[in-house]
Amino acid sequence: MILPRPTLPLLFLTVLTAGAVDFKKDIEPILEKNCYECHSEKNKKRKGGFVFDELETFKLDIADNDVAQIRPGKPAESHFLEVIVNPDHDRHMPPDDQLSSGDIKKLTEWITEGASFEKNDGTKPMVAAAPKKDLPPIMSWTNLEGKTIRAGFVRLDGENVVLRMPANGAEVPYPLAKLSPESVKQAQESGAP
């Protein structure tokens, strides 16, 4: 199959001249049409552990750290975009298809503008910084994809462990179901009274 190969530098140039992207209006329809088939809470499809229609879960993949799929404001460092843009990637998405350059442009703009689910007025940061108090020690956590997350333990919260990201102090709920058995144990031990 011959796929068009969009060039990244060109893409980013076009982005500079674009207006604000709205998640509901511009991004959700692209994901719904091309991704929900395999990445949807509603359809009970969580390929690779990713769902894009349940925003609380999707949000966990958006953060400014090395393991997040989407780094707000940094499209070139967002793995999510790389697998869509690069047709030769091992895990190219969608697996048997290629998004149009228009759709890729919109997704790139959305990430460039901060990857927010809010109606974007360009001013709202995604994560509020946590107040400075007794900071939890930083530990290593491993998720089911084998990626390591360096973060402090804050508390257990239902199905999630709340982790404190050292880079920006954000407290992020991370699903226990996405962690390795060792890290689940570490969370439970850290949360034990």
Which residue's CB is nearer to ligand HEC, number 76 or number 156? 76
Q: Judged by CB under 6 A, how many residues of this single chain contact ligand HEC?
A: 18
Q: How far is the CB of 40 from ligand HEC (least distance, A)?
A: 10
Q: Cα–chain-centroid distance for residue 94? A: 16
- 146-165: which residues touch ligand HEC (CB under 6 A)? none
Check if the beta carbon of residue 178 is closer than 8 Å to that of residue 144. Answer: yes
**Pair 131, 160: CB distance under 8 Å:** no
Candidates 4-12, 16-24, 33-41, 183-191 — which segment interacts with ligand HEC by CB under 6 A? 33-41
The minimum distance between CB 188 and ligand HEC, in angstroms, equals: 27
48 binds ligand HEC (CB under 6 A): yes
Exactly one of 95, 102, 122, 158 binds ligand HEC (CB under 6 A); which one?
95
Q: Which of 27, 35, 85, 154 binds ligand HEC (CB under 6 A)?
A: 35
Q: Is the dihedral of CA 167, 169, 175, 179 positive or negative?
A: positive
Burial 15-53 (b: 16+ CB within 10 A, else e): beeeeebbbeebbbebbeebbbebbbbeeeebeeebbbb
Q: Does 38 bind ligand HEC (CB under 6 A)?
A: yes
Cα separation, 143 vs 187, whole angstroms = 12
Cβ neighbours around 111 below 10 Å, total: 25
Rg (CA), the chain: 17
CB of 157 to ligand HEC, least distance (A): 25
For residues 97 to 116, the per-residue mask of contacts with ligand HEC, x marking binding by CB under 6 A and - elsewhere, is: --x-----------------
Q: Footprint of ligand HEC on residues 67-86 (CB under 6 A)? A: 69, 79-80, 83-84
- Region class of 69: left (phi > 0), else alpha (psi between -120 and 50), else beta: alpha
Say which residues have a Cβ less than 8 Å from residue 47's Cβ, sequence separation at least 6. Answer: 38, 39
Work out whether 40 is an interface residue with ligand HEC (CB under 6 A): no
> In whole angstroms, how close is the CB of 91 to ligand HEC at the nearest point?
4
- Residues that bind ligand HEC in the complex, under the rule CB under 6 A: 34-35, 37-39, 47-48, 50, 69, 79-80, 83-84, 91, 93-95, 99
